[in-house]
Amino acid sequence: MNKKIKRTLAGVTALCTSLSIAACGKSGSSSSSSMPEKVLKEDQQQIVQRLSDSIEKPRELENKTIKWFSHWDINPTESADKDIGVDLALFKTKYGGKIDWVQTTWENYFDDLAKLVMAKSSPDFIGADDMNVFPKCAMKSMIDPIDDYIDFSDPLWADMKTASDKFMFGGKHYVAVVRVDPSYIWVYNKKIIEDIGMDDPAELYEKGEWNWDTMSEMCIDFTNAEEDKYALDGWYYENALLESTGLPLIDMVDGKIVSHINDPLLAKAETMMYDLQKNEVVYPKDQHDWKVRGDVLGTGLASGLTLFYPIGFWGIENAPSSTAPYGNIADGEVMFVPVPCDKDGDTEYIPSRVHAFCIVKNASNPMGVAAWLDCTRYAETDEAAHQITLDQLQEDYGWTDEMIEMRDHIYDLAEQHPVFEFAQGVSQDISNLTDNIIKGTMNPAGTHTWTELVEENSKALDYYIEKEQNNIS
């Protein structure tokens, strides 16, 4: 397994994004200049200065301030209780850069952005981490291409070209992918696995035996409704298993919105999921007000009532007080593996998302955004910068060497074989419909076969896709 340090800031970013959804503010423009300045640790200062000195051809900026539009502030605040990131520190050090926050809410995000663009008061850049801005913001002329500012033949950006190519429309790139992130991992409690005499999934994975079949067998053997024991809980297992085929339900191919609903690979995955649900391996959220066990993510792993908890890295990259439902990380109880794949598949695909940014239509300072984007890549590709996060995971959160090694390996796989689901980025109608389709074979309140789901929904899905394709500005 690859032990080199790679792409390890994702957990902090994903966690920040996850938590910020619940921290919505009022619409309007707000400068972050009044926020208290965070002081870098000495090792971070050295890293930032070294990176700054290494940039031989910096961008020439007339304006050093860029405007960030979001429901959360990209600048660290006093309440965030965290250090300034290497990317932002480098932007400040090399360019004297500053990021002003143009504030919105999660609910009004796209309406507010459209109003600002139409009023010719565009902010400069937005985030694409939530996979909900592309392709609709490109199709509706709310973001601009990045090709005039990002050169994918440059070694700084070359590794991101393959991923960025998935975010093309009209022959242009619209999303600057800084890093490919795994969307989901398969979390379990090693102590519980050992106590009940099951094979450790990480050991199965090392032997090439972690797949849909072995996972399904473990789920069925574990489940016992009379003892309130259900193998799977959470909100993500259906999407994770479907994308492990190598195909999303909604894809972007040559700038076109494409449905894979009739692909036999998806049918095979959904049939496997249907068989799992027939064995009632899923915690019956329908009997508990559609909430996960205990209404807290991870609940059940440490107590032995849940076998697997598919979730993003953000679920376990946190303080011990937050990860206790999964088990005691410092004692080596918590472990994870990649989402299981079809044993007969052609490769190991990783359901993925991106840490990325877009330049807003008619931005007043796109060159400033380009300088910021370069800084994010310098911070992302520097091993010493990544070590800061690894040190936090191990020293503050109790992560074991085994966890760090598996994390690195999964990130490597995500860069090599990512699978991006674009449903949320097309429209709310398509997102709602595909969510019901994907989860229909494992819905504890009423399970449907994949054949039934395709017959009932394919025409509606085609209609919504054609509608969006025809509404291109």
Query: So what's the pLDDT on residue 388?
Result: 86
- Residues 170, 191, single domain; the answer is no
In a domain, 17, yes or no: yes
Q: For the segment 402-432, what is each residue's pLDDT rounded down to a tens digit? A: 999 999 999 999 999 999 999 999 999 999 9
For the chain, the farthest-separated pair of C-alpha atoms sits apart, in whole angstroms, at 68
Domain that holds residue 399: 10-182+352-417
| Residues in the chain where the model's pLDDT stays below 70 | 1-42, 77-83, 472-473
Burial zone of 469 (CB within 10 Å; 0-12 exposed, 13-18 middle, 19+ buried)? middle
Domain boundary residue, one of 417, 446, 462 = 417
Residues 413 and 455 in one domain: no
- 106/203 same-domain check: no
**Same-domain status, 344 and 372:** no
What CATH number is attached to the domain comprising 312? 3.40.190.10
Are 307 and 328 contained in the same domain?
yes
- Condensed to tens digits (0 to 9), the pLDDT of residues 71-118 reads 999 997 644 444 678 999 999 999 999 999 999 999 999 999 999 999
Whether 437 contacts 461, CB under 8 Å:
yes
| Number of structural domains in the chain | 2
Tell whether 458 and 372 lie within a shared domain.
Answer: no
Does residue 3 sit within a domain? no
Q: Is beta strand 306-311 parallel, antiparallel or unpaired with respect to 230-232?
A: parallel
Residue 4 lies in a domain: no
Question: 194 and 300 share a domain?
Answer: yes
For 346-357, give the secondary structure using H, E and C: CCCCEEEEEEEE
Within this chain, do residues 338 and 448 fall inside the same structural domain, yes or no? yes
* End residue of a domain, out of 376, 394, 417: 417
Do 336 and 389 have their domain in common? no
Question: SS3 letters for 165-190?
Answer: HCCEECCEECCEEEEEEECCEEEEEH
Q: 153 and 236, same structural domain?
A: no
How far is it, in rounded angstroms, from Cα 60 to Cα 121? Answer: 23
Per-residue model confidence (pLDDT) at position 470: 86
The answer to whether residue 34 sits within a structural domain is yes
Looking at residue 471, its pLDDT comes to: 75
The pLDDT value given to residue 78: 46
331: exposed, middle or buried (C-beta count within 10 Å: 0-12, 13-18, 19+)?
Answer: exposed
Look at residue 433 and tell me if it is in a domain: yes
Q: Is 69 helix (H, G, I), strand (E, B) or coil?
A: strand
| CA dist., res. 283 & res. 292, Å (int) | 7
Whether residue 357 is contained in a domain is answered as yes
Based on the domain organization, do 336 and 215 belong to the same domain? yes
pLDDT at 116: 98
Q: How far is CA 267 from the centre of its chain?
A: 25
Residue that finishes a domain, picked among 390, 417, 444: 417
Q: Is residue 43 part of a domain?
A: yes
Per-residue pLDDT, 5: 35
CB neighbour list of residue 310: distance below 8 Å, 6 or more residues apart: 184, 185, 186, 187, 232, 234, 236, 237, 240, 339
Is residue 335, in this structure, part of any structural domain at all?
yes
- For residues 108 and 64, state if they share a domain: yes
pLDDT of residue 191: 97
- Between CA 293 and CA 223 the distance in angstroms is 15
